Amino acid sequence: MTEADVIRAVRQYVEGLFPRSCPTCGRHFATLRDYILATKPIGPALSYDVELGDWDTQQPLGVIACANCPCGSTLAVTTEGMPVTKHLALFAWLRIELQRRGPNAELFLDYLRQRIRRQVLAESKD
């Protein structure tokens, strides 16, 4: 698995979470692109499984990335519900990369988040 494979897999999963709406103001995000354009990321992307060193969990908590809606509410995009086999494959890749690049999972997950955001925004709107 390569970084490009990981970005593709995570992006595909996250794009499937849309459309969605802000539970506070009702603002509608038809696509991941709409969500990225309208929200402001807050804090780093986090994986509680990785933070706990639980690389082989059969019940992954997944990754969470939070952003603020223009109304001020905090919204979260998570990998909750992603198939366990896909989680484990992504965790295995991440573990190897953290050994190679350095142990700061928080920074590395945020790097991947930013790569996905830039990729989505670089594409022309359909």
Provide the residue-wise pLDDT of the chain in tens; the chain has 126 residues: 899 999 999 999 999 999 999 999 999 999 999 999 999 999 989 988 888 888 888 888 889 999 999 999 999 999 989 999 999 999 899 999 888 887 788 888 899 999 999 999 998 665
Element (H, E) at 64: strand 63-68
The CA radius of gyration of the chain, in Å to the nearest whole number, is: 15
Which residues are CB-neighbours of 4 under 8 A, at least 6 positions away?
Answer: none
pLDDT of residue 125: 65
DSSP, residue by residue, 2-22: -HHHHHHHHHHHHHTT-SEE-
Residue type, 73: S
pLDDT of residue 102: 77
pLDDT of residue 12: 96
- Can you tell me the distance from the alpha carbon of 68 to that of 41, in angstroms, rounded to the nearest whole number? 6
DSSP conformation class of 125:
P
pLDDT of residue 126: 55
Q: Is the full-model pTM beyond 0.75?
A: yes
Which residues are CB-neighbours of 64 under 8 A, at least 6 positions away?
Answer: 45, 46, 47, 48, 76, 77, 78, 79
